[in-house]
Each structure stands twice: as C-alpha cells, then as structure tokens.
Amino acid sequence: MTMWKQLGALALLVAGLTLMPGPAHAGEISCKMTFSLSGWSVFYKTAKGTGTVRCSNGQTMQVKLRTKGGGLTFGKTHIEDGIGKFTGVYDIHEVLGHYANAEAHAGAGESAGAQALTKGNVGLALSGKGEGWNLGVSFGAFIIEQ
C-alpha cells in the first residue's frame, strides 16, 4: 500500500470512530401533573396541596405540594384541577424539589392564572382555575415532594 492509501485508510478509520454514536441515553420524556392547592397570604405566603405526575414513559407518582414565600401580599386562594407541564425531564424523580417563583397577582372571585417556574434544567408551567381573593407581589418556592 502506498503512503497515501495508508493515510486515507487511517483517516476513514478515525472518521468512523468519531462518528460512531456514544452510549445510548434515555431521551427526554413528557410529564404532566394534575393538582389541587389551597393557601393564604398575609405578608408570608403559604399553600398546600396534592397532585399526580404522569409521564410519557408510563411512570406515575403521587406528590405533595407546598408553596412558601413572602412579599407584599394578602389573600386566600383555592385551585382545583390545576395542570403542570414539565420540560427537561429524563426520569420522573427529576420533578421533585424546590422551584423558584416570583409573581404579581390580583384577583377576586373566580379566576384563572398561569405561572412558569424553574429548577435547574427542569421547567414547570402551571395553569389552573380557582377562587378566592388576592393582591400583591411575592417571591418564594414551589415545592414538590413524594
């Protein structure tokens, strides 16, 4: 073999090794949470609830929800049939933890709302309808536990 053929064969071998796929990793899954949540706020904001997380890979988990925080806020709220959609999840257990949130809110009677939260690479978009009254600006955490 000539030197050029040897170099060409070596280049093809290196290119082939470089283009080979790495170890297989499970892909991102789609997870959705249905929940209910009730709480109050007078400077300190708190709420508790429960939910069910279901993912596209068949995993399901019952969860407990808590919110806590503070700010200039007053009110009482109740959400039924809330929905949360997660992004950046590869295993259902990644939905657990503390999500950062900040919100401005005002409402009375029946209302609807939406909120986007983050925890590292995991995102959570919440939406729901509820009733109560509230007014203010608050910062805090939305916590999902098993």
pLDDT in tens, 41-81: 776 778 899 999 999 999 999 999 998 887 666 678 788 88
pLDDT for residue 62: 98
Do residues 116 and 103 touch, judged by C-beta distance below 8 A?
A: no
pLDDT for residue 139: 66
Helix (H, G, I), strand (E, B) or coil at 2: coil
Tens digits of residue pLDDT in 63-73: 999 988 876 66
| Predicted structure pTM score | 0.72
Residue 22 has pLDDT above 50, yes or no: no
Residue 86 has pLDDT above 90, yes or no: yes
Alpha-carbon distance of 34 to 127, in angstroms, equals 10
Alpha-carbon distance of 53 to 47, in angstroms, equals 19
Helix H or strand E encompassing 5: helix 3-19
Alpha-carbon distance of 16 to 10, in angstroms, equals 10
DSSP conformational letter for 22: -
Alpha-carbon distance of 34 to 98, in angstroms, equals 18
Alpha-carbon distance of 141 to 92, in angstroms, equals 20
**Which residues fall within 8 angstroms of residue 77, CB to CB, at 6 or more apart?**
37, 38, 39, 40, 47, 130, 131, 132, 133, 134
For 10-24, what is the mean pLDDT?
35
Residue 134 has pLDDT above 50, yes or no: yes
Candidate from 1-10, 72-81, 115-124 with smallest mean pLDDT? 1-10
Residue 17 has pLDDT above 50, yes or no: no
Burial class (CB in 10 A: 0-12, 13-18, 19+), 113: middle
Helix H or strand E encompassing 4: helix 3-19
Mean pLDDT score across all residues of the chain: 76
pLDDT for residue 37: 87
107 pLDDT band, cuts 50/70/90, is low
